[in-house]
Amino acid sequence: MTVHKIAILVGSLRKDSINRKIARSIASQASERFHSEIVEIGNLPLYNEDIDAAPPAEYRAFREKISGVDGVLFCTPEYNRGLPGVLKNAIDVGSRPYGASVWDKKPAAVVSASPGAIGGFGANHQLRQLCVFLNMPMMQQPEAYLGGITGDKFDADGLLADGPLKDFVGKIAKAFADWVDVIVRARTEIAEDGAHAAKGR
């Protein structure tokens, strides 16, 4: 079984973020299927093409990190019915310079969590729309709008406590691992077919 490298981006900078806890819970339930790392995005300067002419170290490190992974998991809250600015900025940084996006063809999944009833639906779908443009194959099912998430859903280690929510998140983790397998395998087969075709010319 292939173990893939996954970058997790959390759209909240809060130390006690519920989305960070959800991200850690997903990673812990799929540790045998993928190696994951939460890639920090709070230190990225606001994207500016002027400074990107000579990219700052934070831009270079972030792009290198994302370039080296097999897939990307986004865990985000919703701010004012939309995507948090810090996450949009990270996406913009990774998409540049033009024609060299680090997001291209990376399989992705979105989980949004909120104390509110609709579970970050707006941010979730804005992010899905962005991923279409970025050419990131997006996992469609199961959809993950986690509403009513409060501190009592987690144990002392900051992971989801046993119960229906943990079970559902486990299904998300498995589905995403399967999705990355499918996309990576398809890309490999396409590349191999192309190489064989080139040799046969």
Contact of 14 with 44, CB cutoff 8 Å: no
Taking each helix axis as running N to C, give the angle between helix 121-133 and helix 85-95, from 0 to 180 degrees, rounded to the nearest 10: 10
Pinpoint the alpha helices (H) of 53-163.
57-67, 85-95, 121-133
Q: What is the dihedral of CA 44, 9, 130, 128, to 10 degrees?
A: -160
Residues of the chain with pLDDT under 50: none
Which residue in 124, 126, 62, 136 sits closest to 96, CA to CA? 62
What is the C-alpha separation between 119 and 38, in angstroms, rounded?
21
pLDDT on residue 199: 64
- Encode pLDDT of 133-170 as tens digits: 999 999 999 999 999 898 889 999 999 999 999 999 99
What per-residue confidence (pLDDT) applies to 31?
80
Residue 152 is predicted with a pLDDT of: 87
What domain range is 97 assigned to? 4-199
What is d(CA 106, CA 180) in angstroms, rounded to the nearest whole number?
8
Domain CATH for 102: 3.40.50.360
Nearest to 99 by CA among 61, 48, 132, 134: 134
Domains held by the chain: number: 1
Which positions ≥6 away from 58 have C-beta within 8 Å? Answer: 43, 44, 45
The pLDDT of residue 47 is 97
Residue 52 is predicted with a pLDDT of 95
The pTM for the full model equals: 0.91
Q: Distance between CA 107 and CA 21 in Å, rounded?
A: 22
* Phi, psi (degrees; rounded to nearest 5) at 155: -90, -170
Q: Which residue type is seen at 165?
A: L
The pLDDT value given to residue 57:
97
Strands (E), 16-94: 34-38, 71-76
**Cβ atoms of 8 and 75 closer than 8 Å:** yes
Nearest Cα residue to 126 out of 89, 78, 82: 82
